[in-house]
């Protein structure tokens, strides 16, 4: 675990602290890729410090090469959006983890533990809940609110167009947080989340003299929050029964 944390720290420093703009903008150029690989090599070596030996150094060189190849492919084949960024960072994390497992045989115990977790029924219960509530719940809320949205005045909708798909992503995050808070036992945090959301939306609600937007907002929010709360309570109860 120590080696994994050291290598990943080197990755984070090289990618987010010591990567200059000219490298970030020129990942298709050999000069930029070589410079980026050198920074990763130096940061990982410094992070490992006294544990650095020939075997570990060879692996660090390999990680730097793999990292720059992944960056090159990302620059050539994909767009620069949050999905690409997430996949890219997850791939780098996986590469560091695999290198750590290969270097430290003691990781076999961790692999055995992960194998045991993969057989735990509660893991699949939680996965079903999160996918169903976050993604499936989004479709339900869209169906519930579309009739109300259609009845809102055209000028009211056009005056509050919002960002494309922003509401969908806000709903995903909202239900994820509420579900997590309830399962983890931090129910009071749900109130803080709803308060923050109401404060942000208050100017729009105040400007809506006919109350159309306020009612639309309440229907969507109560449906989303209610779904996450009920699911969270149910999963928490079922999970506790499975653990007995």
Residue 41 structure tokens: 């090599």
Residues 6+ apart with CB under 8 A from 201: 217
Instruction: Quote the CA–CA distance of 134 and 38 in Å, as a whole number.
Output: 41
The pLDDT value given to residue 167: 75
pTM of the entire predicted model: 0.62
The pLDDT value given to residue 36: 93
195 SS3 class = helix
Question: What residue ranges of the chain have pLDDT lower than 70?
Answer: 105-114, 117, 148-165, 202, 204-213, 243-244
The pLDDT value given to residue 166: 73
Q: Rounded to whole angstroms, what are the CA distances from 195 to 77, 201, 221, 224?
A: 42, 10, 12, 15
199 SS3 class = helix
The pLDDT value given to residue 156: 53
Instruction: Give the H or E element holding residue 188.
Output: helix 188-207
Count of alpha carbons within 13 angstroms of residue 212, beta-carbon side: 14
The pLDDT value given to residue 103: 83
The pLDDT value given to residue 169: 85
Instruction: Quote the CA–CA distance of 234 and 227 in Å, as a whole number.
Output: 11
69 SS3 class = helix
Cβ proximity of 47 and 96 under 8 Å: no
């Amino acid at each position: 675990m120590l080696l994994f944390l050291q290598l990943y720290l080197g990755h984070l420093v090289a990618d987010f602290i010591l990567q200059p703009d000219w490298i970030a903008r020129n990942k298709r150029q050999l000069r930029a890729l070589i410079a980026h690989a050198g920074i990763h090599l130096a940061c990982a070596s410094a992070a490992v410090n006294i544990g650095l030996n020939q075997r570990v150094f060879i692996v660090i060189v390999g990680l730097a090469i793999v990292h720059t190849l992944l960056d090159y492919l990302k620059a050539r084949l994909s767009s620069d959006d949050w999905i690409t960024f997430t996949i890219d960072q997850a791939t780098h994390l996986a590469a560091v983890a695999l290198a750590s497992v290969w270097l430290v045989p003691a990781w076999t115990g961790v692999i055995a533990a992960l194998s045991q977790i993969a057989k735990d029924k509660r893991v699949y219960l939680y996965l079903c809940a999160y996918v169903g509530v976050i993604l499936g719940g989004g479709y339900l809320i869209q169906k519930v609110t579309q009739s109300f949205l259609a009845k809102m005045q055209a000028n009211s909708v056009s005056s509050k167009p919002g960002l494309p798909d922003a509401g969908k992503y806000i709903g995903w995050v909202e239900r994820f947080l509420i579900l997590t808070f309830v399962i983890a036992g931090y129910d009071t945090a749900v109130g803080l989340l709803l308060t923050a959301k109401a404060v942000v939306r208050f100017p729009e609600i105040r400007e809506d003299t006919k109350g159309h937007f306020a009612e639309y907002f309440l229907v969507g929010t109560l449906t989303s929050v209610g779904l996450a709360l009920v699911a969270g309570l149910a999963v928490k109860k079922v999970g506790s029964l499975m653990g007995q």
